[in-house]
Amino acid sequence: PRHIESYKVIFSGQYAPFFWIGQVLIVVVIPLLIFTFKGKSALAVGVASSLIVLGFIFVRLNIVVPAGIVPEFAGLRTAYVDPHLSFEYFPSLMEWLLELWILSVGMFIFLFGQRRLKLFETHESH
C-alpha cells in the first residue's frame, strides 16, 4: 500500500532523526529516565514536562510532512512539472522564526499569569 512509503520516510528515511531522536529519545526515554532517577523534584518534573511538550512538535512534523512527501497516486510527480513545485520539504527560516515566536508568546503568557495570579509560592529570604 502507498502509506507504507510514508512509514519508510519516517522510520528510515530523511525524517528518521525527527522520529528516533525527537519522538523516541527526547519525548519518551529522557523523561522516563528523569522520572526514574530524579524522582518528583520540581526541577525534574519541569524539565521532563518541557521535553514532552517539545515532543508535540516532532509528532506533528512526523504526521504532516511525510504524508506530503509521498505522492498519493503513481504519476503525480510527473503530472505537472514546475521549478517551484517539489515533494521535498524542510522548514524555512521564516517558519522556524514563527515557531520561536509562538513559543515565546506562550512563555510570556505563562509568566504574566504566574506573576498576576501568584500560582507558585516563592520563598524569598530577606
What is the model's pTM?
A: 0.54
Q: Cell triple for residue 68?
A: 506530503
The C-alpha angle with vertex 68 and arms to 65 and 69, in degrees rounded to 5, equals: 90
Least confident of 1-5, 98-102, 108-112, 120-124: 120-124
Count of helix runs (H) and strand runs (E) in the chain = 6, 0
Q: Looking at per-residue confidence, does 43 or 84 come out higher?
A: 43
Average of per-residue pLDDT across 55-65: 83
For the chain, the farthest-separated pair of C-alpha atoms sits apart, in whole angstroms, at 73
Which residue in 68, 84, 96, 98 sits closest to 6, CA to CA? 68
Q: Looking at per-residue confidence, does 87 or 64 come out higher?
A: 64
